[in-house]
Amino acid sequence: MPKSAVLVALALFITVGCASRPRYDLKPQNIHLAKQRIPLNVAVTTFTDARPAEERTLEARKAKGGTGNEEDYLGSFTYDADFVDSEIAGPLGDMTAQHIDEAGLFSSTGYVSVPSEQVTAERAKNGDFKEYDAVLVGKMTHMFGYMYKSALRQALFLPMGGTGLALNTAIPAPIKGETELVEVKLLSTKDGHVLWQGEVRAEVSEDKMFNNTKKMTAMALWRKMINTLCQKLEEASPALTK
């Protein structure tokens, strides 16, 4: 077994239990790159968090009930406590702004820590967005990742040390996840009217080689969803600057 494979397996295993900010890489090969910039400076707000309670806390999912080996099953979902920031809507808004900016979709894209639900047409015109031409708001209805990694699976392989960890990565494990933003609107700061509106989502449900974690699954889906958002906004670009 190559030493590098063992080290990668160990790093992935450790990552499962570590809290981290909701982030993902923005390498050009992983994001939708715009063909040309739309001449707007855009502010991304803190998306309204309208997720079900069971996507936020383990306690809520326990109260709802699950299937299979209960503790292993319930613990295989992401919860807000898996991230450094217990309120993840803000960091996700910030990450979204970085993603859109890196994609080169608009002249510039920044994050403003204002809840989407507080951004009315009037506030878009007269509020905290004087340096921007438009404001992006939305409602987050889903954001979770899942990877079933049972205690039995770990008991079988962990005693084998690095070889066991490497074997653990070589066996397909069920993964799933979903991200969704609805009521997404791009509001003009000139007069408050809606330049574009829609919704975007991404989901997965499959057996996959254990080369990621439940958090990585959630973040990969968020990135895929924002790629879709960038594509939709790019397609609508002629109408955005009329």
- Enumerate residues 6+ apart whose C-beta is below 8 A from 153: 168, 171, 173
Q: pTM of this prediction?
A: 0.83
| 170 — pLDDT class (breaks 50, 70, 90) | low
- Whose CA is closest to 224, among 125, 145, 117? 145
- Terminal-residue alpha carbon distance, the chain: 60
Quote the pLDDT of residue 89.
Answer: 94
Distance in angstroms (rounded) separating the CA atoms of residues 42 and 187: 9
- For 26-95, give the secondary structure using H, E and C: CCHHHCCCCCCCEEEEEEEEECEECCCHHHCCHHHHHHHCCCCCHHHHHHCECCHHHCCCCCCHHHHHHH
Distance in angstroms (rounded) separating the CA atoms of residues 134 and 188: 4
Residues 202-227: tens digit of each pLDDT: 999 887 665 568 899 999 999 999 99
| 65 — pLDDT class (breaks 50, 70, 90) | confident
Whether 69 shows a pLDDT value over 60: the answer reads no
- Output the average pLDDT for the chain: 84
- Whose CA is closest to 222, among 13, 26, 59? 26
Within the chain, residue ranges assigned H as helices are: 3-16, 58-64, 70-75, 89-102, 121-126, 151-157, 161-169, 214-235, 237-240
